[in-house]
């Protein structure tokens, strides 16, 4: 990819981020806050996947 294409792509990415920033900021401010149970409900499956991947790596190593 030519240098001018990279610069144009970078400028477009920055403009898109600036375009979406006000709406995203308002959505985050107006969203409901999560309780402790909500966060635990989200973290448990992630930790289980991480443990499973580590288990698979250990099995593959022999």
Range of the domain at 11: 1-31
Is the pLDDT at 1 greater than 90, yes or no? no
Same domain, 20 and 43: no
Same domain, 38 and 12: no
pLDDT in tens, 13-46: 999 999 999 999 999 899 888 899 999 999 999 9
Distance CA 36, CA 43 (A): 11
Q: Which residues of 35-49 are buried (b: 16+ CB within 10 A; e: fewer)?
A: eeeeeeeeeeeeeee
Same domain, 62 and 38: yes
């Amino acid at each position: 990819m030519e240098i001018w294409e990279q610069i144009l792509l970078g400028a477009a990415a920055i403009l898109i981020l600036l375009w979406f920033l006000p709406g995203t900021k308002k959505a985050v401010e107006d969203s409901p806050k999560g309780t402790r149970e909500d966060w635990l409900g989200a973290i448990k499956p992630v930790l289980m996947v991480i443990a499973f991947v580590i288990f698979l790596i250990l099995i593959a190593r022999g």
